[in-house]
Amino acid sequence: MNATVALSILTGLNFLNYLDRYVLAAVLEPIKAELSLSDGELGRLATVFMLGYFVTSPIFGYLGDRYPRRWLILAGIFFWSLGTLLTGFAATFAIMVGLRVLVGLGEASYATLSPGWIADLYAPGKRNNALTIFYTAIPVGSALGYITGGLISAHYSWRDAFFFAGLPGLGLAFVLLWMHEPRRGEADASAGVVAATEKPKLRDVFSLLRLRNYNLVVWGYTAYTFALGAFAYWGPAFLNRFHQVPNETASTFFGAVLVVSGLVGTLAGGFAATAWHKRNPGGYAWLCSLSVLAGVPVSLVAFLASNPTVSMACLALAMFLLFLSTGPINTLMLESVPANLRASAVALSIFAMHLFGDFWSPEIVGRLSDALGSLRLAVLILPGALLIGGVLWGILAWLQSTRRDEKIVDGKVSV
């Protein structure tokens, strides 16, 4: 099985990953009505999913750098699909909580291990474009989760929405049995790059915390995720409260913009970064930094504009700018560490950017809104978080452009 076919399969599975994750958001109201849940309990379903997701990711990262990834990924797909499917049968809140943890655990395995698999299929010159294609699943799969969940719930029931979302993964997971699993560093070796292939020890994993390039990528990503998570959560409510946009219209607007800006922005940013990187070693980081910094004034205008059309147009533009960095930032992360630590690097980044990012940011904005008496004032912290992320990535871009950054030489990090 060649790399293109493998990338197509892994990207398709990633669509299911995000569809399964977001179908719940589309059916909250009918679940609340049938199971007599409070808004707090509905919010807790998101919290326990996130706990299952980011708390277990370092475990899968460590295992993925030491053992065959095929079985770990297959198990992850199977369990997240099973958890989604069984949610359609859930009769109590407690059962639903357990199943959302299972979905998070399964998705942690896939999200942690599949980027490294792709990195081992593609040589450095082609890697960013491949990862860019893989990550188009984030906006498109998320939007499809909202759309399919809402449509199926409206025409049948909210339980059928989970059946529809969960069943495909149970079958498609076993496609992995026929896929070639590349050796760690296989694509690097074919391109004449020496890559570390030995099984890492626990101390090697902790050594990632001392790598300057990796830390600049991850903490910039954490600030970016802090802003994006709260931005997505409060965006429709902001339009409803301050511009009197009906809730249904606001949600539809965000779903449509998510698909278009996410798909176009991710592809455009990824391919542009590849071209830039060929001329400048800091090309990936420059694109990430400048696109996010450009999003700062655009998002400020979106939050402060009194005209709803201007506000919505700027929100759409801000989302487009933020999605430009999706592919290259993940490429930067994978290329800032030795090949035999890629799964662990992704796992630690998932842990950090969710624990310190979007796990808390929606609640922080909500509490600020209560304290200040204004959601508009509360969301103004989000451009500030974007500014931090853009500056950190800009520092990395400058270091790489001036050849002052760390390098991977003979499979090891060198300054």
Please determine, for residue 412, whether its predicted confidence score (pLDDT) is greater than 70. Answer: no
Going by pLDDT thresholds of 50, 70 and 90, the confidence category of residue 410 is very low
What is the set of domains in the chain, with CATH numbers? 1-195 (1.20.1250.20), 210-408 (1.20.1250.20)
Q: Residue-wise over 133-150: b if at least 16 C-beta within 10 A, else e?
A: bbbbbbbbbbbbbbbbbb
Please determine, for residue 239, whether its predicted confidence score (pLDDT) is greater than 60. Answer: yes
Comparing 58-72, 125-139, 241-255, the range with the smallest average pLDDT is 241-255
- Which pLDDT value is given to residue 3? 83
Please determine, for residue 174, whether its predicted confidence score (pLDDT) is greater than 90. Answer: no
Provide the sign of the torsion angle of the four alpha carbons 229, 231, 234, 235, taken in this order.
negative
- Which pLDDT value is given to residue 66? 83
- Which pLDDT value is given to residue 190? 66
Going by pLDDT thresholds of 50, 70 and 90, the confidence category of residue 313 is very high
State the Cα–Cα distance between residues 141 and 12, nearest whole angstrom.
Answer: 9
Kind and range of the H or E run holding 412? strand 412-414
Q: Could you say which DSSP state residue 67 is in?
A: S
Mean pLDDT of 399-407: 80
In the chain, the percentage of residues whose pLDDT exceeds 90 is 27
Please determine, for residue 392, whether its predicted confidence score (pLDDT) is greater than 80. Answer: yes
Instruction: Please list, in sequence order, all residues whose beta carbon lies within 8 angstroms of the beta carbon of residue 349, skipping any fewer than 6 positions away.
Output: 217, 218, 221, 333
- Which pLDDT value is given to residue 220? 96
Q: Mean pLDDT over all residues of the chain?
A: 85
Using alpha carbons only, what angle is made at residue 225 by residues 319 and 38, rounded to the nearest 5 degrees? 95
Asked if 160 and 291 touch (Cβ cutoff 8 Å), the reply is: no
Instruction: Please list, in sequence order, all residues whose beta carbon lies within 8 angstroms of the beta carbon of residue 84, skipping any fewer than 6 positions away.
Output: 20, 23, 99, 103, 162, 165, 166, 169
CB-based burial of residue 253 (10 Å sphere; 0-12 exposed, 13-18 middle, 19+ buried)?
Answer: middle
State the Cα–Cα distance between residues 244 and 234, nearest whole angstrom.
Answer: 14
Please determine, for residue 285, whether its predicted confidence score (pLDDT) is greater than 60. Answer: yes
- Tokens at 333, concatenated: 């992360």
Q: Could you say which DSSP state residue 358 is in?
A: I
Instruction: Please list, in sequence order, all residues whose beta carbon lies within 8 angstroms of the beta carbon of residue 386, skipping any fewer than 6 positions away.
Output: 223, 224, 227, 292, 293, 295, 296, 299, 322
